[in-house]
Chain A
Amino acid sequence: MQLLRFVLYYVRANFQVALEYRASFWARVFGMFLNDVMWIAFWGIFFSRFRVVRGYGFPEIVTLWSFAAFSFGIATGVFGGCWRFARQIANGEVDFYLVLPKPVLLHLLVSTMMVMAWGDVLFGIAVFLLFVHPSAIQIGGFLLLSVPSVAIFVAYAVIANSLSFWLGNSDGLTQQALGALLIFATYPSALFGGVTRVVLYSVIPAGLVAYLPVTLLRHWSWPLVAALYGAATLALVVATGVFYTGLRRYESGNLMAMRA
Chain B
Amino acid sequence: MSAATEIVLERGERSSAPSALRRPRGAAAALAKYGAVFETSLRNQLAYAGEAAVRGIFLALILFVFLQLWRATYAAEQTARIAGLTMAQMIWYLAVTESIIISRPSLNSVVDNDVRTGDIAYTLIRPLGYAAYHLANYLGERVFRFVTTLAIGCALALLYVGPVPLSAANAVAALLTLALAVLVDFLLSFGIGLLAFWMEDTSSVFLIYSRVLMLLGGMMLPLDVFPGTFGRIVRALPFGGLVYGPARVAIGAEGFSIAGLLAQQIVTLGACAFLVGAIYRAGIRRVNVNGG
Q: B225 in the interface, Cβ–Cβ < 8 Å?
A: yes
Q: Do the beta carbons of A27 and B211 come within 8 Å of each other?
A: no
Q: Is the interface of B mostly helix, strand, loop or mixed?
A: helix
Decide yes or no: A191 and B69 within 8 Å by CB, A27-B199, A27-B200, A52-B76 being known contacts: yes
Is A187 positioned at the interface, with any CB of B under 8 Å from its CB?
Answer: yes
A191 to B199, CA, bound (A): 42
| Residues on B with beta carbons closer than 8 Å to the beta carbon of A250 | none
Check A179–B61 contact: CB distance below 8 A: yes
The reply to whether B76 and A50 form a contact with Cβ atoms under 8 Å apart is yes
Q: Would A183 and B65 count as touching, CB distance under 8 A? A: yes
- Inter-chain contact A172/B65, CB cutoff 8 Å: no
Asked whether, in the complex, the Cβ of B204 is within 8 Å of the Cβ of A45, the reply is no
The docked-state distance in angstroms from the alpha carbon of A30 to that of B51 is: 29
A38 with B215: CB separation less than 8 A: yes
Distance of A184 Cα from B64 Cα, bound (Å): 10
Q: B254 an interface residue at 8 Å Cβ cutoff?
A: no
Q: A21-B200, A54-B72 are in contact. Are A184 and B207 (CB under 8 A)?
A: no
Question: Which of B72, B203, B214, B221 is close to A45, meaning CB atoms less than 8 Å apart?
Answer: B221
24 pairs, CB–CB < 8 Å, chain A vs chain B: A21-B201, A27-B199, A30-B204, A32-B204, A34-B207, A38-B212, A38-B214, A38-B215, A42-B221, A45-B221, A45-B227, A48-B227, A53-B72, A53-B76, A54-B76, A172-B54, A176-B54, A176-B61, A179-B58, A183-B61, A183-B62, A188-B69, A191-B68, A196-B68
A-B CB proximity, top 9 nearest: A31-B204, A24-B201, A191-B68, A27-B204, A38-B211, A24-B200, A31-B207, A172-B54, A53-B72
- Name 12 extra pairs, CB < 8 A, besides A179-B58, A180-B61: A27-B201, A31-B207, A31-B208, A32-B207, A35-B211, A45-B221, A45-B227, A49-B226, A173-B54, A183-B62, A187-B68, A192-B68
